[in-house]
Amino acid sequence: MTSDVATTDPQHDARKGLRRRVLKAGVIAYNNRHSTLHCTVRDMSDGGARLLLGGSVNAPDTFELLIELDGIEVSCAVVARAPNEVRVKFLGRVRSVPVARVQVLNPVTPGLQPSLRRKPRLGE
């Protein structure tokens, strides 16, 4: 009975801080950054994150998480594993570094305002 309380009571939750749902590209870097894996960051808190992995290669027990679009780097340790997913805790402070690349979104048809109206069909 106490195990149910521990999983549902926020005071007994192992996470420290509010978890935010995100969808960000990340890089798992290990072996002195000579080896990398691409991942997707699905949620983050001040103390950890949940990462989705593609392919059959799994993440090592400790690594650096790099989020290039936000200029974030942090040392991590895996606390839970599931198929194609790892949950990590941050081993130190999240470091801000210069942004490695910038996301640029260009409109497909410049100059046209987006509209929610249905376009008339020919013959209507």
In a domain, 117, yes or no: no
Give 50-106 pLDDT, tens digit per residue.
Answer: 999 987 788 999 999 999 888 999 999 999 999 999 999 999 999 998 886 676 666
How high is the pLDDT of residue 2?
A: 38
Residue of 2, 1, 54 lying closest to 28 (CA atoms):
54
For residue 39, what pLDDT band results from cuts at 50, 70 and 90? Answer: very high
In a domain, 54, yes or no: yes
How high is the pLDDT of residue 113?
A: 67
In a domain, 86, yes or no: yes
In a domain, 104, yes or no: no
Residue 47 domain boundaries = 15-96
In a domain, 113, yes or no: no
Number of structural domains in the chain: 1
For residue 48, the tally of other CB atoms under 10 A from its CB is 24
d(CA 112, CA 53): 38
Residue of 44, 53, 37 lying closest to 18 (CA atoms):
44
Residues 6+ positions from 110 with CB-CB distance below 8 Å: none
In a domain, 116, yes or no: no
In a domain, 62, yes or no: yes
In a domain, 42, yes or no: yes
Q: Angle at the Cα of 109 (from 105 to 115), degrees rounded to 5?
A: 95
For residue 105, the tally of other CB atoms under 10 A from its CB is 5
| CATH value at residue 90 | 2.40.10.220
The winner for highest mean pLDDT among 1-5, 45-49, 105-109, 111-115 is 45-49
How high is the pLDDT of residue 28?
A: 95
Single pTM value for the model: 0.68
